């Protein structure tokens, strides 16, 4: 069975809620097991065990929180070993146009450098889901749809 990790950092719970919604969407797809973990509980070598890695961070000064960057920097230990896995990213920011897209793209840039595969979407958040503060119904729907889309891609590539 293919495996997805939804890994996140969240100080006040908003990104954590999004992580659960992404996982809910992914869990609806058969042939995939989904783990949701805070970044503090993820050891960098755990990344090798997954076919899909979806990362959530609050937007901090237009980019990811240092806890997520630390995991990504540590992942250099496995440079080349994550190639072909499915990548995804999501964020909660304080403001509309507060840097959500730059945060998502910064995470995806690192995962693309690993050789991972990411999928955009022609509707909603094109690069990945974002919420302003706590997820509203729109953001919840985007997170669920995103989890489902990436789960289907993962099963297609790795199932
Ligand atoms: C250090 C710090 C930097 C932040 N920088 C931004 C920012 O650049 N743009 C923005 O819109 N919100 C910014 N925020 C607000 C957070 O992105 C927002 O509160 C988010 O919902 C927190 O997510 P969490 O509940 O998962 O921790 C910042 C918050 C902190 C603590």
Cβ atoms 88, 52 nearer than 8 A: yes
pTM over 0.85: yes
Helix axes 137-158, 14-27, angle to 10 degrees: 50
Q: How would you class 80 by CB atoms within 10 Å of its CB: exposed for 0-12, middle for 13-18, buried for 19 or more?
A: exposed
- Residue 3 confidence (pLDDT): 98
Nearest to 19 by CA among 94, 91, 68, 105: 91
Confirm or reject: Cβ of 66 under 6 Å from ligand 1.
no
> Which residue matches tokens 């783990």?
35
pLDDT level of residue 74 (50, 70, 90 thresholds): very high
Domain residue ranges in the chain: 2-158
101-118 pLDDT, tens digit per residue, is 999 999 999 999 999 999
Q: Tokens 């999928």 sit at which residue?
A: 119
Say yes or no: domain 2-158 is CATH 3.40.50.360.
yes
Residue among 17, 47, 55 nearest 150 (CA)? 55
Which residue's CA lies nearest to atom 20 of ligand 1? 93
**CA 157–ligand 1 middle distance (angstroms):** 34
Q: What is the number of alpha carbons within 13 Å of residue 49 lying toward its C-beta?
A: 10
pLDDT, tens only, 6-48: 999 999 999 999 999 999 999 999 999 999 999 999 999 999 9
Our measurement of the distance from residue 56's CA atom to the centroid of its chain's CA atoms, rounded to an integer in Å, reads 5
- What pLDDT does residue 128 have? 98
CA 131 to CA 69: how far, in whole Å? 20
Cα of 10 from ligand 1 centre, angstroms:
10
Determine the atom of ligand 1 nearest the C-alpha atom of 132. Answer: 21
Using most ligand atoms within 8 A of CB, pick from 12, 39, 60 the residue to mutate for ligand 1.
60
Q: How far is the CA of 148 from the centre of ligand 1 (A)?
A: 26
For the stretch 43-72, pLDDT in tens is 999 999 999 999 999 999 999 999 999 999
Give the per-residue pLDDT at 44. Answer: 98
CA distance 82 to 50: 9
Q: Does 93 sit in the ligand 1 pocket, CB within 6 Å? A: yes
Q: Name the residue of 58, 104, 129 to mutate for ligand 1: max ligand atoms within 8 A of Cβ.
A: 58
Report the atom number in ligand 1 closest to the C-alpha of 16. 26
């Amino acid at each position: 069975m293919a495996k997805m990790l939804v890994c996140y950092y969240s100080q006040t719970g908003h990104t954590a809620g999004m992580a659960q919604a992404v996982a809910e969407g992914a869990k609806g797809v058969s042939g995939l097991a989904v783990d949701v973990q805070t970044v503090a509980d993820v050891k960098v070598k755990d990344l090798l065990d997954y076919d899909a890695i979806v990362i959530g961070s609050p937007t901090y000064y237009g980019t990811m929180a240092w806890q997520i960057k630390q995991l990504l920097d540590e992942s250099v230990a496995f440079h080349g070993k994550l190639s072909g896995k499915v990548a995804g990213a999501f964020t909660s920011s304080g403001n509309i146009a507060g840097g959500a897209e730059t945060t998502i793209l910064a995470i995806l840039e690192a995962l693309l450098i690993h050789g991972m595969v990411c999928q955009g979407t022609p509707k909603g958040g094109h690069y990945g889901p974002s919420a302003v503060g706590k997820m509203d119904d729109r953001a919840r729907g985007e997170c669920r749809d995103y989890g489902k889309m990436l789960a289907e891609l993962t099963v297609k590539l790795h199932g």
